[in-house]
Structure 1
């Protein structure tokens, strides 16, 4: 099992490579930004983020 810290973030209209259809109104870059923000929020919430100095 993944345990209680596991989360799932669904990217609407994205395929398995996280590409979105042009008709979705979103770009691949927007999807990558969404995922980066989601991961950063998770890292901070879990206390796993250590800034590089």
Structure 2
């Protein structure tokens, strides 16, 4: 990580946690392209044979 920018109030400085309800990250996709993230989801962890190695 070269730099990090967060707007005022995004980080709970008492617990040092990001307020996820207000967090919409931007990511570099390559060259001059960027991506916005407006939704998130969770997936259950799948256990497969490869996980046991």
TM-score (norm 1): 0.26
Greater fraction of residues in helix? 1
Using CA pairs under 8 Å that are at least 6 residues apart, name the structure with larger relative contact order, 1 or 2: 1
TM-score (norm 2): 0.26
